[in-house]
Amino acid sequence: MRKAANLQKGQTVLITGALGSVGRAAVHVAKKLGAQVLAGVRASQLEEARSLGTAGVLAIDDTDAIAQIGFLDAIADTVGGDVQRSLFRR
């Protein structure tokens, strides 16, 4: 998070796969750096993701939800594939 995204305090970052081991580590580091973190998970995982204590959660398999995302300073993608393509198209 520090090197790859150059994440700074107060910036907003979306972390996909936030419930996986790499995603959880990224959430922890981003929060420690003072970033506003959005946890990107499947729609079926939204309730579980709320336990991460992030500023928000996002269903990354919901195109309407993706279309509603505001400005992001960074995206930390731990999923890749179709998820990555849909996020970068917006």
Does residue 5 fall inside a structural domain?
no
Q: State the Cα–Cα distance between residues 50 and 80, nearest whole angstrom.
A: 22
Does residue 4 fall inside a structural domain?
no
Does residue 2 fall inside a structural domain?
no
Provide the pLDDT confidence category of residue 90 given band limits of 50, 70 and 90: low
**Neighbour tally for 21: CB within 10 Å:** 9
Q: How many domains does the chain have?
A: 1
Tell me the whole-structure pTM to 2 decimals. 0.89
For a pLDDT cut of 70, what percent of the chain falls above it? Answer: 94
Owning domain of residue 22 = 12-89
Does residue 1 fall inside a structural domain?
no
Does residue 22 fall inside a structural domain?
yes
- Structure confidence at residue 86 (pLDDT): 72
- Structure confidence at residue 88 (pLDDT): 66
Q: Can you tell me whether residue 51 is helix, strand or coil? A: helix
For residue 67, the domain's CATH number is 3.40.50.720
